[in-house]
Amino acid sequence: MTSLAGVSRVALPAVPVGGRQLAGLLLALASGACGLAWQFIWTQQLSNSLGHEIVAVLAVLGAFFGGLAIGAWALRRVIERSARPALWYGGLELLIAFWGLGLSLLLPVLTPGLGRLIGAEPSAWRHWGLAFFLPLLLLLPVTAAMGATLPALERCWRSTGASLLSALYSANTLGAVLGTLGVVFIAIPQLGLQATAMACAALNLVCALSALALKPGQHSAGAQAATVPPVAAAAAGAEVGRRHLWLLLAGSGWLGIGYEVLAVRVLSQVTENTVYSYALLLAVYLLGTAAGAGWHQRARARLGAGQAGLARLLGWLVLATLAGGLSLWAADRLLVLPARWFGPGAASALAGEALAAAVAMGPPTWVMGVLFAQLCHQARASQMTLGGALAVNTAAAALAPWLVGVWLIPLLGARGALLLIAAGYLALMPGLWRRGSGFWLPLVLWLLMAAFTPALRFVDLPPGGRVLSYRDGVMAAVSVVEDGRGVARLHINNRVQEGSSASGAIERRLALLPLQLHPKPQRALFLGLGTGYTVQVAARDPGLQVDGVELLPEVIEAAPLFARSPNGQPAGQAGLERVHAVAADARRYVLAAPQRYDVVIADLFHPARSGAGALYTREHFAAVRERLAPGGLFCQWLALHQMEVETLRSIVAAYLEVFPEGRAVLVSNSLDTPVLGLVARPDMPRFELGALRARLAPPQPELRQLLGSAGLADEFDLLGAALADSRSLQRFAQGAAVNSDDRPFVTHRAPWATYAPASQPRERLHELISSWRVEPGDWLQSADPVFEQRLQRYWDVRRRYLELGMATAPSPDPAAMLDRLQQPLLGLLRDSPEFRPAADTLRALAAAVSARDPGRADELLRELARLQPRAPALRS
């Protein structure tokens, strides 16, 4: 059984393969594939309840590794001494099949309860404890069985007189690679989690029955054909004591997985961080170790035995780790090479991620494979059981993500952690000071790298820009970058997030539009904080309690850099003091929060990013509905420039299954970055016009100014955002795959639009406005027919305005743009004087040409004043 982090590290050796031996290799292959598939299934299911915080992620991984180690250790002697090892292997595979399938069916039922048991804001001890022990208890029977399958399989074929230790490791590792890629790229997207679990259980069952039918080794009960003859074993093991061997097994496991954690964290700053990105990184890691162990099978005699051979390998590993680590500084340039060679596209993008991973992890993992194979042979020579060796290595590997990801990288940075890992390999070298250049050459290179390499981080700086803050967090690198104009932007893993310190009307509207649709909100929940600008805007209302949930603590810490006072000047921490900000997973918080909310607003989660798709599922939307107070409203914002139409259809289908009365709004008229919102108020689907007018005319002057600056000065600005009624959305989503926990369509579909978008955002927007319809009666309770006609004209003019923007060729000359747009926009205003965006565009063009042609500018402004006599809303 191979763990997610790639504990098995041996590739196909050059040994004669007969029919029975081939059967053993196929069983190891299938077992490795199932093991990785099961882990992906359970990890995804558990994260829906335990959360995506680093606590939950590492706790689940630790529980899985711990179970593997417990099983390998607890059963090591009984399997080694068994006269019928095939029965052990078959029984273990049966246990995996039935327990695994039952667990995959049970976890979705337990999800709400597990989330509530941990709580919305648990203490560190409660969170760590429950997140570790709950998965450990649930997974222990099956993970313990997985940890013992490979020792049992190796024992089966050793009893026949065939030395297949390396070959079985090889097939198991190859199966892990196939399982990783197959489950992520094919099985889950096509079948879903439950169907994939059934397929895995069936394959485990086939493995069990095949082993029982073959009965390898049972004709020679108790016979143990040693991998290494006793004389050779004594000679090979004379120089390496058992304690030292255990130290090497543990140290190599900890440092090897530590390097994987480090490389993935650094590469995440240049890759797209999709579910496919992480699958490729893991596959590269496994293939590298397998290739090294395969080479070891052919070249073991040349390496030498005992301390001399191990010292030589550890010296190679230090050099390879430093070489692979140095390539990380060039990862961003390696990533784009396939696109330059073969042209842009999804295949080139994925090839670029694989290339960067191969250069960074290929050399170190190749030597790791050689070293692990050498240690396996040393263990057998020292009369250690294979289960014992695997248990020690796996248990140490389980600690690596905690120590490297949670402690070393935040404390020392990626560069410091890399140097410490290389130093750890140096410290493991037996007889260090007696090995001459085998030690001194890696040491000298380590010292040179420590002295001359810069910080290992990626931050794209605009011209004249500077870094205001940078944090290597436990889950991501978070930085705030200021450009030459003094505008600060938030970067997470070197990707610019929505919003900035210059955020204007659109960002204000993201907070205020849903709040104005509720007659009297007293408590609001924001899922996702980003720069903190939207929650700060909401908190300007003194009668509103604002809670905000953000996954990354470093993002909350960076928020004061974006805080603004009502006049737009920096306000520091004071601008956020009224916001109750919680560092937590949004899904778990919604499940476990004790209070209900009048308004819940979900941020623009990029659907392609790993983990974000879980915030667009039917189950999450249902949990949000349970969290709404009577008369409560839920708004889910969607960035159309981040997703293709099919992804949008899947999200809308999931939303409508929970909120069948849901409607769509358009928060901005941008053609390149259009933002939609799905809005629903289950208890009162339609809105009362008088209540909306009252919300838009608050007694506080500051709030009225804030609404005007957001382009929400009156009821036409607010209701004019309506883009689709519930009937249009139902037609749009008909036949779409419903995004759910079992069928995570968004997680697996959205990345393809990120790698190679098939259309432009304006094309997607045009498709929507051409097919979606909206009727006043679907949005409003009884209203004045004259008002409804004016509102209908507003929506029609908004559609024509967007189509005009799509059809107009841009020009850097404002006079040329005025020539093209003046008459069409004036015509729109004549049809709907309330449509401020057309007037705003003309005013901006008039200001741009006033110095060159003041007469034309003045004439245009007079015409605008005649068509739209009301004072325009304040906009920024």
Dist CA 668 CA 579 (whole Å): 25
CA distances to 193, 388, 763, 852 from 428, rounded to whole Å, are: 42, 20, 59, 76
* DSSP conformational letter for 471: E
Q: Are 608 and 751 in contact (CB under 8 A)?
A: yes
For residue 158, give the 3-state DSSP assignment: helix
Dist CA 533 CA 467 (whole Å): 19
Could you identify the residue written with the tokens 């402004």?
861
Dist CA 458 CA 331 (whole Å): 9
**Checking phi first, is residue 217 left (phi over 0); if not, alpha (psi -120 to 50) or beta?**
left
**Checking phi first, is residue 437 left (phi over 0); if not, alpha (psi -120 to 50) or beta?**
alpha
Dist CA 199 CA 826 (whole Å): 63
Q: Are 340 and 749 in contact (CB under 8 A)?
A: no
Biggest alpha carbon–alpha carbon distance for the chain: 105
Q: Which two tokens stand for residue 332?
A: 């961003």
With a CB cutoff of 8 Å and minimum separation 6, the contacts of 398 are: 61, 62, 65, 66, 69
Q: Are 145 and 61 in contact (CB under 8 A)?
A: no
Describe the crossing of helices 346-381 and 275-303 by its angle, rounded to 10 degrees.
40
DSSP conformation letters of 790-810: HHHHHHHHHHHHHHHHHHSPP
| CA dihedral sign of residues 508, 510, 515, 517 | positive
239: nearest Cα among 159, 307, 144:
307
Cα–Cα–Cα angle for 834, 838, 843, rounded to 5 degrees: 110
Dist CA 312 CA 303 (whole Å): 8
DSSP conformation letters of 637-681: EEEGGGS-HHHHHHHHHHHHHH-TT-EEEE----SSS-EEEEEE-
**β strands within 552-605, DSSP E:** 579-583, 597-602
Q: What are phi and psi of 569, to 5 degrees?
A: -90, 155
Dist CA 164 CA 179 (whole Å): 22
762: nearest Cα among 653, 641, 875:
641
* DSSP conformational letter for 710: B
CA 119 from centre of chain: 22
Dist CA 408 CA 342 (whole Å): 39
475: nearest Cα among 65, 131, 58, 184:
58
Could you identify the residue written with the tokens 């970067």?
491
For residue 530, give the 3-state DSSP assignment: coil
Dist CA 265 CA 523 (whole Å): 37
Active site residues: 603
Q: What is the length of the chain?
A: 876
Q: Please classify residue 341 by burial: count the beta carbons closer than 10 Å to its beta carbon, then call 0-12 exposed, 13-18 middle and 19+ buried.
A: exposed
User: Which residue type does 93 have?
Assistant: E
